[in-house]
Structure 1
């Protein structure tokens, strides 16, 4: 129910894109409750010692860039090295030397002294299956996490076992039984800082762009890659004295149509190029973004130059889909 473009975007973000505040509170509470439950396993004969201070909440839910519905919540559950686990690196692969606990619980890669990350995840799954209020624990499809499904809510938890190193980064499963380097704290801090720089307006723009990306008008861009491209633009963009989300989104579409054609480096300096699309797919995505930009440009001209709110709202509906509000004026 909207009579202006500004009103339509406000309603759209509130009712369709942004997470419901009460569900968000419930989700955070359920996450904290899960952490407490896992801490209850800590140090038992059949489970690791948990490193409380290095448990890490990460992902789009933590960065507040997730759109409706809340479907998954990410958590890195840090395990203590207990002074007896060390690691070595060969290329980009990390190997963690196991200790007596790992050996006695059959957590080593066969015929080696290395702690097997897949077996560690399976140990998580075994323990998580004992928890109340959760319907199923299973291996995530990427073999890098345990997925815990709830009985009462619509979201799952993706729980990544990890170790914190003396070099100030984390080691997580690589999906092949070994370990790889990461540090989501860098992403969390980057997103927060760039959002603050733009007066707290950026997160909503990221969510709006994710919504467009999910409409399947082209090959879907991975959520993390999309966030990195947006942050790359706004790290280097002057702070606007005025901020209109429709105009920012319009101009962002044009920027992304060009950015997707280039490699995008991991801001953590770990993964290298994040833009895994081949040239043909990059061009298809670029074309779809540019087409959306052209429609957005028409919509803004209708609103600003022609003073035609109805036509502008109708054109924005072409960009954002049927859930975008209809014009309800005369």
Structure 2
């Protein structure tokens, strides 16, 4: 075991990716679905999006694939994204086992455990740049995965490789805490709030919880498309979990013995922290 907690954090974060044995079959399925979509529904191609493309994926997440559809699909569904999702689900069910609408009504999911779930997003290109995808309420949400990827890479380069790792660490805390925050919102908290990456990981995590507890808006703007992203929880829930996280991380950073510090951080990030 490394003899300092900062190194344990670094090694822990490096393992926070979609596992290759689950990712590889999902990528292969994405190729098959892309070809299927070109033949069956006249799609114009596909591309990856979500946390996998941003570089913030963690083992529990799915692989998102945008299926680029024509404006005809948009108008045939009366500009209703829910209708387009049901159309995609119905056509997929002709050739794939049990597709389901998932993600709060934003994707059609294909899932064959143990491979990673493949989330399909019917996607419409817009003339102003970027794309429209379902927003879960029958309407549309603007997104720009390519620009997101570039912005996150720039932030990571400027942080000497710490930004993406810190985002993954915070998302792991989020799951361990019962998922009180929307995962992308939490990525944006790290994107906007953390600029001093000279600190070691334990101090970065603790100081971020302090900042979040002192002030955190209900919404943040996606830097790539300008869309508003909800925190996913009410302010009362946020304050409860953030106060607890601030207390636990303060205790953890005060520990001088690696063994005790490790146990303290496991209470924040789960038993896999520092394991193996």
TM-score (norm 1): 0.71
Counterpart of 2:213 in structure 1 is: 257
1:68 aligns with 2:59: yes
C-alpha displacement at 1:246, in angstroms?
3.1
1:79 aligns with 2:79: no
C-alpha displacement at 1:273, in angstroms?
5.8
Counterpart of 1:138 in structure 2 is: 100
C-alpha displacement at 1:269, in angstroms?
5.8
**1:1-330 aligned within 5 A:** 1=1, 3-6=3-6, 8-13=8-13, 17-21=16-20, 23-41=22-40, 47=41, 49-52=42-45, 55-69=46-60, 71-81=61-71, 98=75, 102=76, 107=77, 114-131=78-95, 134-140=96-102, 142-150=104-112, 153-216=114-177, 220-234=180-194, 237-238=195-196, 240=198, 244-260=200-216, 263-268=219-224, 270-272=226-228, 274-275=230-231, 277-299=233-255, 302=256, 308-325=257-274
Matched-pair contact (CA < 8 Å) for 2:110–2:117: yes
C-alpha displacement at 1:206, in angstroms?
1.2
The 1:325/1:37 distance shift into structure 2, 3 A limit, reads same
Inter-partner Cα distance in structure 2 for 1:182 and 1:314:
40
Deviation digits for residues 281-315 of structure 1 (CA, Å, limit 9, x no counterpart): 2321331232133123213xx1xxxxx33333333
Inter-partner Cα distance in structure 1 for 2:84 and 2:14:
41
The SS at the match of 1:181 is strand
The SS at the match of 1:75 is strand
The 1:285/1:125 distance shift into structure 2, 3 A limit, reads same
Deviation digits for residues 160-213 of structure 1 (CA, Å, limit 9, x no counterpart): 112112222322234444444333434322212111111222212211111111
C-alpha displacement at 1:77, in angstroms?
1.0
Matched-pair contact (CA < 8 Å) for 1:72–1:157: yes
The 1:137/1:2 distance shift into structure 2, 3 A limit, reads same
The runs of 5 or more residues in structure 2 that have no matched partner are: none
Q: How many pairs does the alignment contain? A: 276
C-alpha displacement at 1:231, in angstroms?
0.4
Deviation digits for residues 246-265 of structure 1 (CA, Å, limit 9, x no counterpart): 33333333333334356533
TM-score (norm 2): 0.83
The SS at the match of 1:168 is coil
The SS at the match of 1:280 is helix
| Higher radius of gyration, 1 or 2 | 1
